[in-house]
Amino acid sequence: MDLTLRVWRQAGPDRPGAFEEYRARDISSDASFLEMLDVVNERLTLEGREPITFDHDCREGICGTCGIMINGKPHGGQPGTATCQLHMRKFSDGDLIVVEPWRAAGFPVVKDLMVNRSALDRIIQAGGYIGVDTGSAPEANLIPVPKAVAERAMDAAACIGCGACVAACPNNAAQLFTAAKVAHLNLLPQGQPERWDRVEAMVETMEHYFGSCTNYGECEAACPKSISIDFIALLNQDYVRAMRKNRAMVSRG
């Protein structure tokens, strides 16, 4: 396959950026999108030109670092697929492919296609933990967890924190990410002691960096793990309850 890439190049967060065109020649249809970028970068290096900077790590759809806008869609728009899982057979010979970084105020560009997603880490730091005894491993059946609850929690825990939901949202909202991170702890018995403090702290941290959800639904469509927006409803319910419970505790104190 011979392709034309229109790639966003930006030397740094405070530098202006612009699109530049590159030819991607003799690309195998079995190559992943990131492997195609590797081929382009190798040729740029051999020509003495600076390669394209982009995030990547596991290349197995687990780490969430491979976030790229491809033809205006996070991860390329293939349902349930991260960029590293997107194969070139989804494109046609001669295609023009526009490649750019996440476009969100909460994700400032570091360089080229790489953005700073530390705002998501700050949301996790605000409440993404549980208080448990350390030491030897507990008995497996010490805390019974209903099967339906365990499966629902695992659905939420599938979030890889890539930020596609933010990039796809017209408001740059991070509700789906935050809802998934809150739900996979709040649904389980082990997460109950910090439940109300957790949801309030994580939501308020989220609101500091990202926009507000108005139920466009673009986040669910863009999510490479197909996480349901139903978790946003659970987040909102828990947040309202947390506000009531936490304020009631303060007034009693």
The full set of domains in the chain, from first to last, is 3-111 (3.10.20.30), 118-252 (1.10.1060.10)
Kindly give the residue spans of alpha helices, DSSP state H, lying in 105-174: 118-127, 147-157, 164-168
Q: Provide the pLDDT for residue 253.
A: 54
Selection from 26, 34, 40, 37 nearest residue 86 by Cα: 34
220: which strand partners? none
Q: Provide the pLDDT for residue 45.
A: 97
* 77 conformational bin, left if phi > 0, alpha if psi -120 to 50, beta if neither: left
DSSP state of 87: B
Q: Provide the pLDDT for residue 143.
A: 84
Q: Provide the pLDDT for residue 245.
A: 82
* 26 conformational bin, left if phi > 0, alpha if psi -120 to 50, beta if neither: left
Give the 3-state DSSP-derived string for 182-244, with helices as H, strands as E and coil as C. HHHHHCCHHHCCCHHHHHHHHHHHHHHHCECCCCCCHHHHHCCCCCCCHHHHHHHHHHHHHHH
- Reported pTM: 0.92
Q: Is the sign of the CA dihedral 231, 122, 211, 99 positive or negative?
A: negative
Q: With contact defined as beta carbons under 8 Å apart, do 61 and 121 qualify?
A: no
Three-point CA angle 238, 240, 246, nearest 5°: 90
Three-class SS of residue 64?
Answer: coil
Q: Provide the pLDDT for residue 252.
A: 57
Q: With contact defined as beta carbons under 8 Å apart, do 163 and 109 qualify?
A: no
Residue 121, phi then psi, degrees to nearest 5? -65, -35
Q: How many helices (H) and strands (E) does the chain have?
A: 8, 7
Tens-digit pLDDT profile for the chain (253 aa)?
Answer: 999 999 999 999 999 999 999 999 999 999 999 999 999 999 999 999 999 999 999 999 999 999 999 999 999 999 999 999 999 999 999 999 999 999 999 999 999 999 999 999 999 999 998 887 777 877 767 888 999 999 999 999 999 999 999 999 999 999 999 999 999 999 999 899 999 999 999 999 999 999 999 999 999 999 999 999 999 999 999 999 999 987 766 555 5
